[in-house]
A and B are shown apart, each in its own frame.
Chain A
Amino acid sequence: MPKRTAAIALSLLAATLGLAACGSSSGGGGGKHIALVAYSTPQSVFEKLIPAFEATSEGKGVSFSQSFGPSGEQSRSVANGLHADVVNFSLEPDVERLAKAGLVSPTWNQNATHGFLTNSVAVIIVRKGNPKRITGWSDLVKPGVQVLTPNPFTSGGARWNVMAAYGAQLKEGKSPAQAQAYLTALFHNVVSQDSSARNSLQTFLAGRGDALIDYEDEAISDQKKGAAIEYVIPKDTILIQNPVAVLGKGSSAEAAKSFVDYMLSPAGQAIWAAKGYRPVISGVPGASKFPTPPGLFTIDSLGGWKAVTKQFFEPETGIVTKIEQSLGVSTAK
């Protein structure tokens, strides 16, 4: 058989393996380096935060590598070996996964902010002028209102949305059964369940739907970019809390720690606030622009993510799984 083909193929294989060796060795190098792995939404904030940190005395000479993507996927990548010194996710369970894998300290959330870096609230984005006069959750289930929310099985953001809608019903004095019935009615009006919050926003901006449930910070940043939208903060809504954690040991972990400390300082939180995130500490300039809704509640008041995930999003028996099935079966025919 052709020996030269074999030789060529072998040398190409060798080249690939050579690259492999390079890939593994390039992780080292001099100077302090922080590998940041985060969910998609805060990417533009880190573009501001990192230079600001590098300008401080702790941040001098620190270099960064950055990776952004869907929260769950990013968390799984880190669990599967993606190198990270700092992680910032949409949901607490995504950090808990790493704690379970031994990558993050089990006491990661025992600090002044309980492991959280930023807050936000779930809001309803509507078209400019609010043509459908949507002022709260009850308007979303009216006939003829088209609602967008990402798929709660692929998007962390969508889980915040579902729990905001559900918790708001309880807050208004409804029973859990009535709140579930509300969710069913809500999903009846949902016309598109994109895979991520960003995709939902793309769909909304492409002209589909009357209302989009989303993070407040997303609504603020889109408005700043000149999108023809407004947003409504419902009277009762959920406090969205996004966690941050440091991984590993050694010098890069120290640098990572000082970066997280910086982000939690008034200076760092002010940058977050300027981008539409609610600060997790008090006394941050710019924090006063965020009105506190009268009926604000947390995920803990609904039992915490662990219980909620099991009750609502379990693949076979979760409440939302069942709602999707019942709607699907009745409308598919």
Chain B
Amino acid sequence: MLGKGLLGIYLTVLVLLPIAALLAKSSTGGLNAFWREISNPEAVAAIKLTLIASVIVVVINAVFGTIIAWVLVRDEFPGKSVVNALIDLPFALPTIVAGVVLLALYGKDSPLGIDVAFTRAAVGLALLFVTLPFVVRSVQPVLLELDLAMEEAAASLGASPATVLRRIVLPTLAPAIISGVALSFARAVGEFGSLVLITGNLPFKTEAGSVYIFGQIQNENLAAAAAVSVVLLFAALLVLALLTFFLRRRSRHVL
């Protein structure tokens, strides 16, 4: 009981109170003002860019993150432990470093011959970088705990590798993948630091939601900043809720 109380206090101090303050701020001018803020064409463009980019990014994350996790757990090659250790670096590096380095690598004088700086592709690239660890790190522990016996049993009963993957491995991994996808999506929607340098922040073109919000804060327009944050928040909530729903139905289906 005490434990639950402490969990509640912690959550209140860290999340509930600040979000309540944010909601209150976004509704200071009433519903009309809220609507005006979020239907501002620049805000709409920024929100749209952020949401579309985030969806693309999480799909790529789901596929590549799972493959990377699988390779890190089941495969063996020289330097694997080094690769495994590097996975978390996108979190530890301050986002401004990510921005500077991505600009140097994939900008005008790209040593790799890839120039995406100041395009919408740059938004995706930066988001892929900062969200890389999520799916990998949520799938990895489950793969580690996953019993090989089931896969072997299925294989010995004549199931093709594709069938084993589809019927046994993926359903077991699904909660972890979805968990990682949910976190990636949420993070992608909120990401700011790495986008600032590499996208050029052109309104209507490469200005992401978080950057627009930052501009509104700087511009003393706190209500607009809060309103757009609330919209992005609800979009993220919706996606999270859908994913949870999907997950529940799925697990009921499997059991």
**Interface residues, chain A, with chain B CB atoms under 8 Å away:** 1-3, 5-6, 9-10, 70, 72-73, 151, 153-155, 190-195, 199, 202-203, 206-208, 313, 315-316, 324-325, 327-329, 331-332
In the complex formed, the residue of A with least CB distance to B204 is A328
List chain A residues, Cβ under 8 A from B204. Answer: 324-325, 327-329, 331-332
List chain A residues, Cβ under 8 A from B211. Answer: 195
| Partner-binding segment picked from B146-154, B212-220, B236-244 | B212-220
List chain A residues, Cβ under 8 A from B3. Answer: 1-2, 5-6
- A332 near B205 with CB under 8 A, answer yes
B200 CB to closest chain A CB (Å) equals 3
List chain B residues, Cβ under 8 A from A154. Answer: 214-215, 218-219
- B218 near A6 with CB under 8 A, answer no
Q: Which 4 A-B pairs have the closest CB atoms?
A: A328-B204, A192-B200, A1-B3, A207-B108
Given contacts A195-B196, A202-B100, contact A325 B201 (CB under 8 A): no
Interface residues contributed by chain B, number (CB under 8 Å): 37
Indicate whether B134 reaches chain A with its CB closer than 8 angstroms.
Answer: no
Q: Which of B1, B45, B218 is most buried by chain A, counting CB atoms within 10 A of its CB?
A: B218
List chain A residues, Cβ under 8 A from B118. Answer: 191-192, 208
**Interface residues, chain B, with chain A CB atoms under 8 Å away:** 1-4, 6, 10, 36, 40-42, 45, 100, 103-104, 107-109, 117-118, 196-197, 200-205, 207, 211, 214-216, 218-221, 224
- B103 near A206 with CB under 8 A, answer yes
Across the interface, A202 reaches (CB within 8 A) one of B36, B197, B207, B214, namely B197
**30 contacts across the A-B interface (CB closer than 8 A):** A1-B4, A5-B6, A9-B6, A70-B218, A151-B201, A151-B203, A154-B215, A190-B202, A191-B118, A191-B200, A191-B202, A192-B200, A193-B200, A193-B201, A195-B201, A199-B196, A203-B200, A206-B104, A206-B107, A206-B117, A208-B118, A315-B216, A315-B219, A325-B41, A325-B42, A325-B203, A328-B204, A331-B204, A331-B205, A332-B205
In the complex formed, the residue of A with least CB distance to B221 is A315
List chain A residues, Cβ under 8 A from B196. Answer: 194-195, 199
List chain B residues, Cβ under 8 A from A202. Answer: 100, 103, 197
A236 CB to closest chain B CB (Å) equals 27
Task: Give the complex CA separation of A271 and B99 in angstroms.
Answer: 34
List chain A residues, Cβ under 8 A from B109. Answer: 206-207
